[in-house]
Structure 1
Amino acid sequence: MSVWAVVALAGLGGCKETKPTPTPEPGGEVQATRTALLGAFGACVVTSARDFQQVAAELETATAALAAQPGDSTRNAARAAYHRAMDAWQILETMQVGPAAPRSMPGGAELRDNIYSWPLVSRCAIEEQLVSRSYESQDFPNSLISRRGLYAVEYLLFYEGTDTACGPTSPIVSGGTWAALSTEEKQARKRAYAAAAAEDVHRRAVQLTEAWEPGKGDFAKTLETAGPGNTVYATSQAGLNSVSDALFYVEQTVKDTKLARPLGLRDCDGDTCPEYLESQFAARSKANVRSNLVGYRRVMEGCGPDFSGVAFDDLLVAVGSEALATKLHERGAAAQAALEAVNESDLVQALDQDKASVRALYDGVKGMTDVLKTELVTVLDLELPQTVEGDND
């Protein structure tokens, strides 16, 4: 089933006030549901990672074809492959647990940042590599994350200008090496660089899938068996906190970075700041948020068709907080509806032509995340991520 069909088929429900439920003794229905949730989440990551690996392979093939035989058809095919890859990746953004997470987190291997490091990106760094052709080096996979990944592929495939974002102190500006490149040479290098970056993305997509797959890294089993004797998660609660932390991507990144900053609600001196939108070259900031919400609902409601399957809502029901589960369903659907009510093709046009619709989207996501960081963490005795603690907006 496509992402669009999954979104369209999601249902609604009613809600009423809930209260915290004490943590039950291990071995009861709640413990069984908690274990099932961790197992279902791991299976969801495996499925989602496999989906991304497939489209990452298609992106590698398409960019290689563009580099070998440039033209409108190969360029359009490479761009279409990029959109498919980002649709799949943005779902995984809400599942940064274990191998995808930073090394400071349990089981972290930083695969996420090596695949897509936004907002830690630099167009200038990419342009400096275009001049030095370091993307041809065997050491390219070890270069800074701002020079690789899906952000680099986006710039290289979609930006057709010949200017540079680098300032006068950059060697490629002060030394005149950027200006010395002809337009044709810049475009040729962009194609070759895109192919190298896409190859690296595909390689890391394979690493991510294998890290979670049964019979290989099997981090899915590590998460499901959280508890005594587990070297990564000493308790099932620790495993649950790890999944909850990943879910807070919608609070920290979607709400605060992808929406609040462009809307001028923070870190912006103007009425709006479209330069803070996520997708500056492929014009898919709205599409990215759409996939983020799908990823969120897979974790909150279930990873199967129509968001079926074991997820956080089932654990809430098991601890006697069915009303909260219903409220979270409603808030997730409301955020999705607010996104679909943005009529423009992307948020850059919406900010200019109908800012109110983008603000309504922000409010919808905030309504969802407010419940996350208050009622959900209280009822399930979860720990807020450190970056969320003290954030009252």
Structure 2
Amino acid sequence: MRKILAAGLIALFPAAFAHSVQAQEADPTPAVELPEAVVTKVMTAAVDGYIRPGYDALQKSAEDMAATMKTLCDAPSKANYDAAKTGFGKLAATWAHIEIVRTGPIIEQNRFERILFYPDRKSTGLKQVQAVLAKSDETATDPKTLATKSVATQGLGALEYLLFGTGSDTLSSGNDFRCRYSAAVVQNVGSVAAEVAGIWDAPDGIQKAWEEPGPDNPVFRTGGEAVTGLLGILVHGAEAVRDQRIETFYKGVDKAKFPKQALFWRSENTWPMVKANLDGLSGLLVTSGMVELLPEKDRPVVAAAEAQFKAMAKLTTEITPDLEKAVADEGERKNLDTLLADGKDVISKLNDGYGGAIGLSSGFSFADGD
């Protein structure tokens, strides 16, 4: 996976929003002066039109799923179990839509990992969840004590195994411990979402820091830094789709293939997650109005990137959810290869096309490597 060169700027803001040393070293300030009023408009649209609603939606989805789990635990049945499995897909997709924003409070205090611990190449999470089940560890059924345990036991990865893994069918007939553990995981995800939403909603915190760049701003001293940070979300989000969602299990026809390392392969939510990621990237690009910062001659790059995100999202709906078949079948592999190629291309459109258009130096890159 690509090395993250500008992580200090777009992914590692500490709680106090101390200015990033790495950002200074990378010198990501665009060479052209961006209009202050338009920068403020774009950053405000990104925060108020996409980021804050995204965390609100995640909190609401977790609350809905908590109610679904309560119904299942109180009255085990096939219908209620099926409702829980459907609810998982909805919750996971809602997370995937805002997951692309890998900056700010979500990456502090292990909040991101508490919602989703992935990649997990050594199956650490699986082993730990299985150990909790084997011991019937009651502390895992209390959201407060669950929150103190390994991040691998308290997020969506754990929930997927509980609802879809070995022994999960017992939930329909009444597996009290497994159900209560699942419910605690859902409540934990909801608590993290509520906490992050609250931080973004505070008018004098990160919300203000993002919407009002300036010399006394501890996060963004200039509008150029702010827009570069926003662009970085898109670049790294697109990289994550390619590197973490797809290349984790498929890197090409001549490379080793690991379908069971794909995210949520048990529940067949691998492609819905990828689609939600891509929809999120397209949504942030459009909602923020980033195109307004470009000269007319350069604006087509935004439309091209948006179109590519949408085409990739559509393609995910055409690939079989059976990942073992997907990596073995020649026709399916062509679709996977297309996603990888398009992923690389859209990263270039954003990093080089948009970045160059706003005046980032030719030597500046959000990523290094293939």
Task: Give TM-score scaled by structure 1 length.
Answer: 0.75
1:219 maps onto 2:232 in alignment: no
Cα shift readout 1:23-78 (whole Å, capped 9, x = no counterpart)? 12x6xxx3222111111111111111111111110111212222232221221111
Corresponding residue number in structure 2 for 1:129: 132
Deviation (angstroms), 1:280? 2.5
> For residue 379 of structure 1, what is the aligned residue in structure 2?
357
Matched with 2:281 is 296
Aligned to 1:207: 195
Q: In structure 1, which of residues 168, 174, 197 is the aligned counterpart of residue 185 of structure 2?
A: 197
Partner of 1:253: 240
Partner SS state of residue 281, structure 1 = coil
1-structure distance, mates of 2:201, 2:172? 44
Whether the 8 Å CA contact 2:76–2:172 is kept in 1: the answer is no
- Match in the other structure for 1:91: 97
1:13 maps to none
From 144, 148, 154, the counterpart of 1:148: 154
Q: TM-score, normalised by structure 2?
A: 0.79
The sequence identity of aligned pairs, in percent, is 17
Q: Of 244, 262, 282, which residue of structure 1 is paired with 2:231?
A: 244
Contact map agreement 1:316 1:324 (CA 8 A) in 2:
no
Query: Do the aligned partners of residues 264 and 322 (structure 1) sit closer, same or farther apart at CA in structure 2, a change above 3 Å counting?
Result: closer
* 2:239–2:347 contact (8 Å) kept in structure 1: no
- TM-superposed CA distance for 1:195, in Å, is 0.8
Which deviates more from structure 2 when the two are superposed, residues 328-337 or residues 188-197?
328-337
CA contact (8 A) 1:156 1:190 kept: yes
**How many angstroms apart in 1 are the aligned matches of 2:233 and 2:349?**
16
CA distance, structure 1, for counterparts of residue 219 and residue 260 of structure 2: 40
Q: 2:309 aligns with which of 332, 354, 357?
A: 332
Q: How far apart are the structure 2 equivalents of 1:185 and 1:344?
A: 30
Give the Å deviation of 1:100.
1.4
Looking at structure 2, the residues matched to 283 and 228 of structure 1 have their Cα atoms a distance apart, in angstroms, of: 48
Q: Is the 8 A contact 2:117 2:155 kept in 1?
A: yes
Residue pair 2:199, 2:205 contacting (<8 A) in 1 also: yes
1:23 aligns with 2:28: no
- Residues 326/140 of structure 1: CA separation in 2 closer, same or farther (3 Å cut): closer
Asked if the contact 1:317–1:325 (Cα under 8 Å) also holds between the matched residues in 2, the reply is no
**Contact 2:278 2:310 (8 Å CA) reproduced:** no
2:23 is matched with which residue?
none
CA distance in structure 2 between the aligned counterparts of 1:119 and 1:343, rounded to whole angstroms: 21
Q: Which residue of 2 aligns with 1:80?
A: 86
Amino acid at match of 1:49: Y
* Cα shift readout 1:310-344 (whole Å, capped 9, x = no counterpart): 432222247x522322332333233234334x242
Unaligned runs of 5+ in 1: 1-20, 104-108, 163-181, 303-309
Alignment gaps of 5+ in structure 2:
1-29
Name the structure 1 match of 2:44.
39
Distance 2:116 2:94 in 1: 12
Q: 1:377 to 1:110 in 2, by over 3 A?
A: farther
CA drift of 1:22 comes to 4.4
Aligned length: 330
The residue type equivalent to 1:160 in the other structure is T
Q: Indicate if the aligned counterparts of 1:286 and 1:346 stay in contact, CA closer than 8 A.
A: no
Query: Structure 1 residues 280 and 383, CA, compared in 2 at 3 Å: closer, same or farther?
Result: farther
More divergent stretch after superposition (30-39 vs 320-329)? 320-329
In the other structure, the counterpart of 1:355 is 333
Alignment match, 2:221:
234
Give the conservation status (yes or no) of the 8 Å contact 1:111–1:204: yes
Identify which range, 236-245 or 43-52, moves more after superposition: 236-245
Larger CA deviation: 292-301 vs 137-146: 137-146
Q: Residue in 1 aligned with 2:27?
A: none
Q: Distance in 2 between matches of 1:357 and 1:273?
A: 17
Contact 1:116 1:151 in 2 (8 A): yes
CA deviations on 1:254-312 (whole Å, 9 max, x unpaired) are: 1012112322349x962x2212211122111110111011110112122xxxxxxx432
Distance in 2 separating the partners of 1:368 and 1:252: 9
CA contact (8 A) 1:95 1:295 kept: no
1:49 paired with 2:55, answer yes
Q: CA RMSD in A?
A: 3.0
1:157 positional shift: 0.9
- Spell out the pairing of 1:89-128 with structure 2 (5 A cutoff): 89-101=95-107, 103=108, 109-120=109-120, 122-128=125-131
Task: Check conservation: 1:97, 1:243, Cα contact below 8 A.
Answer: no
